[in-house]
């Protein structure tokens, strides 16, 4: 049933549960994350842990090692996060398509195996501060340019 809901309908259904949990999330941000969330939710309250990062300041990882992968060692991770921060600060248009293309290319460039995955997972964790969240590109777009760049500035201090 949830999977068949339109993004606006799902956002309106989920929002009261988020608000009851003390989370204030604007409808525009919800509309960005609802399409991929529709396949992850069994019940409306299931959205709460996924979307906490949209409303709360999430803790930073304890160390830069938490942002690495066996195919993305520390020096490569630092270079990738630095490049991602610069790109997100200036990219136009700040759209799902552009964000996804550019972050994917950064991941492929810096990972030892030439694939984006070893970077995209740690990047999602860096941006959301959560192990469980909507996909990276939607999360970046929903949070917005300034909050993501500020978060990446904090992340880069760990390296």
Task: Supply the pTM of this predicted model.
Answer: 0.94
Q: Is the dihedral of CA 79, 53, 100, 131 positive or negative?
A: positive
Residues of the chain predicted below pLDDT 70: none
Q: What is the pLDDT of residue 25?
A: 87
Compute the distance between CA of residue 155 and CA of residue 137 in angstroms, rounded to an integer. Answer: 18
Of residues 35, 142, 46, 59, the one with CA closest to residue 94: 142
Of residues 133, 132, 124, 126, the one with CA closest to residue 151: 126
Q: Take residue 81 and report the two structure tokens written for it.
A: 């996060």
Q: What angle do CA 49, 50, 53 make, to 5 degrees?
A: 90
Note whether 148 and 89 are within 8 A (CB). no
């Amino acid at each position: 049933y949830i999977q068949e809901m339109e993004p606006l309908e799902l956002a309106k259904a989920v929002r009261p549960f988020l608000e009851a949990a003390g989370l204030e999330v604007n409808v525009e941000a919800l509309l960005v994350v609802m399409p991929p969330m529709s396949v992850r939710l069994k019940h409306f309250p299931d959205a709460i842990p996924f979307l906490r990062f949209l409303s709360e300041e999430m803790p930073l990882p304890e160390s830069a090692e938490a942002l690495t992968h066996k195919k993305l060692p520390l020096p490569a991770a630092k270079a990738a996060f630095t490049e991602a921060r610069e790109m997100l600060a200036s990219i136009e248009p700040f759209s799902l398509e552009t964000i996804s293309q550019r972050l994917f290319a950064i991941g492929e460039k810096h990972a030892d195996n030439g694939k984006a995955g070893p970077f995209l997972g740690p990047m999602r964790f860096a941006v959301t501060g959560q192990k469980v969240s909507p996909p990276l590109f939607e999360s970046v777009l929903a949070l917005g340019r300034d909050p993501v760049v500020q978060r990446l500035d904090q992340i880069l201090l760990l390296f």
